[in-house]
Structure 1
Amino acid sequence: MEIPKPKEFRKQRRLPEEEEDEINLLNSWIQSQKPDSGTNPMSLPLLPKTSPVGRLDDNTFSRYAGVLRFEQLPLSKKTKDALRSSNYVFMADIQRASLPHALCGRDVLGAAKTGPGKIFAFIIPVLEKLYRERWGPEDGIGSIIISPTRDLADLIFLVLEYIGKYHGFSAGLLIGGRKDVAMEKERVNKLNILICTPDRLLQHMDETSNFDCSQMQVLVLDEADHILDSGFEKQLNAIISRLPKCRQTMLFSATQTKSVQDLARLSLKDPEYLIALEESWIATPF
Structure 2
Amino acid sequence: MEQWKNRVAVVTGASAGIGAAIAVDLVKAGMTVVGLSRRVERVEALKDKLPGNLRVNLHAMKCDITQEEEIIRVFELIDAKFNGIDVLINNAGLLRKTALIDNDNSDIIREIIDTNVMGLVFCTREAYKSMEKHGRNSHVVHINSVVGHHLLCYLDQPSQNMYPASKFAVTAITEIHRQEFIRSKHHIKVTSVSPGVVKTDIFLPEHRDLIAQGPHLLPEDVSNKLESGSGNSENGDNSGENSEENGVGDAAENGTDVGEKETQLTWQDLGLNDVLCEACAELKWKAPSKIQREAIPLALQGKDVIGLAETGSGKTAAFALPILQSLMETPQSLFALILTPTRELADQIGDQFKALGSGIGLKVAVIVGGMDMTAQSLQLAKRPHIVIATPGRLLDHLENTKGFDLDRIKYLVMDEADRILNMDFEVELDKILKEIPRERRTFLFSATMTSKVRKLQRACLRDPVKVEVSSKYQTVEKLQQYYVFIPSKFKDIYLLHILNDLAGNSFMIFCSTCNNTLRTALMLRELGLAAVPLHGQMSQNKRLAALNKFKSKSRSILIATDVASRGLDIPHVDVVLNFDIPTHSKDYIHRVGRTARAGRSGKAITFVTQYDVELYQRIEHLIGKQLPQYECDKDEVMVLQERVGEAQRSAKVALKEIEDRKSGGKNRKNADGSDDDTEQFVGVRKRIKSSKGGKGGKFKKMKRK
**Residue in 1 that maps onto 2:375:** 183
Contact persistence 2:346–2:388 (CA under 8 A):
yes
Contact persistence 1:116–1:159 (CA under 8 A):
no
**Residue in 2 that maps onto 1:57:** none
Structure 1 residue 116 displacement after superposition: 6.1
Structure 1 residue 163 displacement after superposition: 1.5
| Equivalence map 1:1-286=2 (5 Å) | 39-40=163-164, 43-44=193-194, 45=198, 68-115=265-312, 117-133=314-330, 135=331, 139-179=332-372, 181-189=373-381, 190-277=383-470
Q: Secondary structure of the residue that 2:445 maps to in structure 1?
A: strand
What do residues 210-252 of structure 1 show as CA deviations (whole Å, max 9, x unaligned)? 2132111100000000000111011011101110000000000
Structure 1 residue 256 displacement after superposition: 0.7
The residue identity in structure 2 corresponding to 1:237 is D
Is the alpha carbon distance of 1:226 and 1:141 closer, same or farther for their aligned partners in structure 2, counting shifts above 3 Å?
A: same
What do residues 130-156 of structure 1 show as CA deviations (whole Å, max 9, x unaligned)? 1111x1xxx320000000001111111
What do residues 104-132 of structure 1 show as CA deviations (whole Å, max 9, x unaligned)? 11100110111261111111111111111
Give distance in 1, aligned partners of 2:266 and 2:469: 17
Contact persistence 2:309–2:446 (CA under 8 A):
yes
Give distance in 2, aligned partners of 1:223 and 1:141: 22
Stretches of structure 2 that go unaligned for 5 or more consecutive residues are 1-160, 166-191, 200-227, 235-262, 477-596, 600-705
What do residues 52-84 of structure 1 show as CA deviations (whole Å, max 9, x unaligned)? xxxxxxxxxxxxxx8621122222222111111
Give distance in 2, aligned partners of 1:67 and 1:238: 43
Give distance in 2, aligned partners of 1:176 and 1:43: 43
The residue identity in structure 1 corresponding to 2:320 is I
Is the alpha carbon distance of 1:67 and 1:132 closer, same or farther for their aligned partners in structure 2, counting shifts above 3 Å?
A: farther
Structure 1 residue 85 displacement after superposition: 1.6
Q: Secondary structure of the residue that 2:163 maps to in structure 1?
A: coil
What do residues 160-210 of structure 1 show as CA deviations (whole Å, max 9, x unaligned)? 12222112221110001112x112213314111001100011111111112
What do residues 30-65 of structure 1 show as CA deviations (whole Å, max 9, x unaligned)? xxxxxxx97349623468799xxxxxxxxxxxxxxx
**Any runs of at least 4 consecutive aligned residues in structure 1 with deviations exceeding 4 A, and if so which?**
45-50, 278-282
Give distance in 2, aligned partners of 1:140 and 1:159: 19
Give distance in 1, aligned partners of 2:360 and 2:447: 30
Give distance in 1, aligned partners of 2:163 and 2:422: 30
Contact persistence 1:40–1:274 (CA under 8 A):
no
Stretches of structure 1 that go unaligned for 5 or more consecutive residues are 1-36, 51-65
Is the alpha carbon distance of 1:198 and 1:149 closer, same or farther for their aligned partners in structure 2, counting shifts above 3 Å?
A: same
What is the number of residues matched between the two proteins? Answer: 226
Contact persistence 2:289–2:313 (CA under 8 A):
no
Give distance in 2, aligned partners of 1:281 and 1:89: 13
Contact persistence 2:334–2:408 (CA under 8 A):
yes
Tell me which of the two structures has the higher relative contact order, counting C-alpha pairs closer than 8 angstroms and 6 or more residues apart. Answer: 1
Q: TM-score scaled by structure 1?
A: 0.73
- The percent of aligned pairs where both chains have the same amino acid is 33
Give distance in 2, aligned partners of 1:70 and 1:140: 26
Give distance in 2, aligned partners of 1:212 and 1:205: 6
The residue identity in structure 1 corresponding to 2:451 is K
Larger Rg: 2
**Residue in 1 that maps onto 2:102:** none
Give distance in 1, aligned partners of 2:448 and 2:271: 30
The residue identity in structure 2 corresponding to 1:115 is G
Contact persistence 1:148–1:223 (CA under 8 A):
yes
Contact persistence 1:67–1:96 (CA under 8 A):
no
The residue identity in structure 2 corresponding to 1:43 is V
Structure 1 residue 95 displacement after superposition: 0.7
Is the alpha carbon distance of 1:142 and 1:67 closer, same or farther for their aligned partners in structure 2, counting shifts above 3 Å?
A: farther
Give distance in 2, aligned partners of 1:110 and 1:163: 21
Q: Secondary structure of the residue that 2:352 maps to in structure 1?
A: helix
Give distance in 2, aligned partners of 1:251 and 1:182: 30
**Residue in 2 that maps onto 1:29:** none
**Larger deviation: 271-280 or 85-94?**
271-280
RMSD between superposed Cα atoms in Å: 2.5
**Larger deviation: 67-76 or 249-258?**
67-76
**Residue in 1 that maps onto 2:100:** none
The residue identity in structure 2 corresponding to 1:144 is L
Contact persistence 1:71–1:89 (CA under 8 A):
no
